[in-house]
Structure 1
Amino acid sequence: MLELVNILRCQKLVQSPTSFCRLIRYLHKEPIPVAWKKPGIGWTKLNFDGSCKVGSGKASIGGVVRNHNAEFMLGYAESIGIANSTIAELTALRRGLELVLENGWNNDIWLEGDEKTLVDIIVRRRQVKCMEVQKHISHINSLLPGLNNCIVSHVYREGNRAADKFAKMGHQLDQPTIWTHSPPDEVLPIFHDDAQGIPIIRKKGI
């Protein structure tokens, strides 16, 4: 079962007759609090992210798996060479799915990323023209049937900070790295905030 939890509101706005005025109002909404949400009891949550350096084009990926108590289960990060943001995000999701399946966490899985377009492609099985993107999507689609009861959702980047941190750490790594017992120290403050449900204020118009 695949569900799009966060509706792509901007897309809905531009389809209405008064789209321009409504879009302006949307962009000037008050700042909103965004927090990482724990999965339900018995569920496992994978947050994933890709990171691309402006100028060099070098990309890295990262992600983190936590349980319903927000307890750390696994983290991963690696540099993937030259790639655009879409490829980085797809690679991050693909690697996360592989690790989830390898560890037998295939029941009640919540997959969450901060790239709306990617979530839309996966959930709605939207067609893409780029052959490289198609290849990654085909790989992801071949992994999804191995999951029992799966939710895919978008979250603003303020709610995806742990995965973002792992992805940025990937730039500094010479080889793929997986953490299984405890997360690196630099991620601990984010884990604490997430476990407590502490929100980060998302500035209006972003």
Structure 2
Amino acid sequence: MASFSRILRCQTIVVLNPICSIVRGRHSVPGTFTWRKPDAGCTKLNFDGSTKNGTGLSSIGGIFRDHKAEFMLGYAESIGQKTSTVAELTALHRGLELALENGWRDVWLEGDAMTLIDIIVHRRPVRSEEVQRIIGDINLIISELGSCNLTHIYREGNRAADRFAKMGHKLPEPRIWRNPPKEVLPIVIEDAKCKSFQRRM
């Protein structure tokens, strides 16, 4: 079974068996960020978690698109009081479950949480049993995929997933979309046109 604790070998690209690779975020020019299409035959998942300051109430969201940037599936869910790290990992875990359920085995995973990258790529020690459990579940699902890679992108390139995650706060139960909701459609269109956004400091 693949283990994320053994991944890091360099900071550019790391191969996990022949199955999964983890690479750094991609951008067009310094300071600008663009959502990038996957290769033909690959399904791209952008995922995100959202945690409200003060209450700790969290939600998750994600979006799958193909090599033509066409919407395939979106999801969002409220998950109660969680840390931001648990929210991000739960968003990834739920997305991986949906990838398997829909038969998408060649998957590009992309999120905007550097904390998650630190935990997975840099093998940061984790004391939380909940985080350890979620990472174990993620490992199990990844081992069932044909291939995958994980990238970090700043929020400007992850806007659709961010919007789904924020929508999750208002949902009484988990929801899946097979067509883009009106709240996300403008972002999907802009991403398909490769619109770039300046990094907000």
* TM-score, scaled relative to structure 1: 0.83
Say if 1:75 and 1:166, in contact at 8 Å, map to a contact too.
yes
1:178 aligned residue (176, 179, 193): 176
| 1:120-172, Cα deviation, whole Å (9 max, x unpaired) | 43345554221111011111111111111211110001000000000000000
| 1:7-64, Cα deviation, whole Å (9 max, x unpaired) | 7xxxxxxxxxxxxxxxxxxxxxx97111100001111000000001111110000000
1:192 aligns with 2:189: yes
User: Which residue number in structure 2 is paired with residue 202 of structure 1?
Assistant: 199
User: Which residue number in structure 2 is paired with residue 161 of structure 1?
Assistant: 159
Instruction: Mark the structure with the bigger radius of gyration.
Output: 1
Stretches of 4+ aligned residues off by more than 3 angstroms? 123-127
User: Which residue number in structure 2 is paired with residue 63 of structure 1?
Assistant: 62
Q: Identity rate of aligned residues, in percent?
A: 59
* TM-score, scaled relative to structure 2: 0.85
User: Which residue number in structure 1 is paired with residue 128 of structure 2?
Assistant: 130
Distance (whole Å) between structure 2 residues aligned to residue 167 and residue 184 of structure 1: 13
Say if 1:2 and 1:123, in contact at 8 Å, map to a contact too.
no
Say if 1:123 and 1:152, in contact at 8 Å, map to a contact too.
no
Distance (whole Å) between structure 2 residues aligned to residue 125 and residue 102 of structure 1: 29
Residue segments in structure 1 that go unaligned for 5+ positions in a row: 8-29
Distance (whole Å) between structure 1 residues aligned to residue 21 and residue 89 of structure 2: 18
Give the CA deviation at 1:3: 2.6
SS of the residue corresponding to residue 172 of structure 1 reads: coil
1:26-175 alignment runs, 5 A limit: 32-106=31-105, 108-123=106-121, 126-175=124-173
1:6 aligns with 2:24: yes
Distance (whole Å) between structure 2 residues aligned to residue 125 and residue 138 of structure 1: 14
Residue segments in structure 2 that go unaligned for 5+ positions in a row: 1-18
Distance (whole Å) between structure 2 residues aligned to residue 2 and residue 61 of structure 1: 23
Across the aligned residues of Structure 1 and Structure 2, the Cα RMSD in angstroms comes to 1.6
| 1:98-127, Cα deviation, whole Å (9 max, x unpaired) | 000000001x21000001221243345554
SS of the residue corresponding to residue 173 of structure 2 reads: coil
Q: CA 1:125–1:149 in 2, change beyond 3 Å: closer, same or farther?
A: farther
The answer to which structure has the higher helix fraction is 1
